[in-house]
Amino acid sequence: MEWMLLPLKRYAEFSGRSRRLEYWMFALLNLIVIAVLMALLFMGGMSMQALEAPGAGLPPFNALMIVAGILMLIWFIAIFIPSIAVVVRRLHDRDMSGWWYAGLILASFIPFVGFIASIAFLVIMLLPGTPGPNRFGPDPKDPTSAEVFA
């Protein structure tokens, strides 16, 4: 759980390095939260279908769908900056500039190149970081370094 919340603790910190574990645990946290909120939206939609009379047209939103939608919007706003920051720090761990992320996002808008860029981004996120210190900071896997999470 600590690794899932670490990017939120390092909210807008774009310097330094992040391990694969930090990135993927944060991705798992996002997946879990989104799945729960989508389940709430689905339950709200199913309850509206059960109440709908034949030929009545579209039913209005119920309270569960509104609450789930508002919570999803709040979650997306809350994790927007930490998500970008953890990706930039993960790229730093690979000894790559954070501007690569902007380039990969721009490349994703080009039809065929976007598919290739998405696969390349996934591979980069799966690769281990450079061992030892690099130009972006000390190795986050090195337990003897006091500067890693300072």
Q: Are 21 and 3 in contact (CB under 8 A)?
A: yes
Task: Decide: helix, strand or coil at residue 134.
Answer: strand
What is the reported pLDDT for 22?
Answer: 93
pLDDT at residue 42, as a whole number: 85
Structure-block tokens of residue 141: 């896997």
Q: CB–CB of 17/139 below 8 Å?
A: yes
DSSP string, 79-142: HHHHHHHHHHHHHHHTT--THHHHHHHHHTTSHHHHHHHHHHHHHHHHSPPPSS-BTTBS-TT-
For 36, half-sphere exposure in the C-beta direction (CA atoms, 13 angstrom radius) is 8
According to the model, what pLDDT value does residue 51 have?
56
pLDDT score, position 65:
83
d(CA 87, CA 103): 13
Number of neighbours of residue 62 by Cβ within 10 angstroms: 14
CB atoms within 10 A of CB 122: 10
- The per-residue pLDDT string of the chain (150 residues; one tens digit each, 9 = 90 and over) reads 888 888 899 988 999 999 999 999 999 999 999 999 999 888 877 666 555 555 555 555 677 888 888 999 999 999 999 999 999 999 999 999 999 999 999 999 999 999 999 999 999 999 999 988 889 988 888 766 655 555
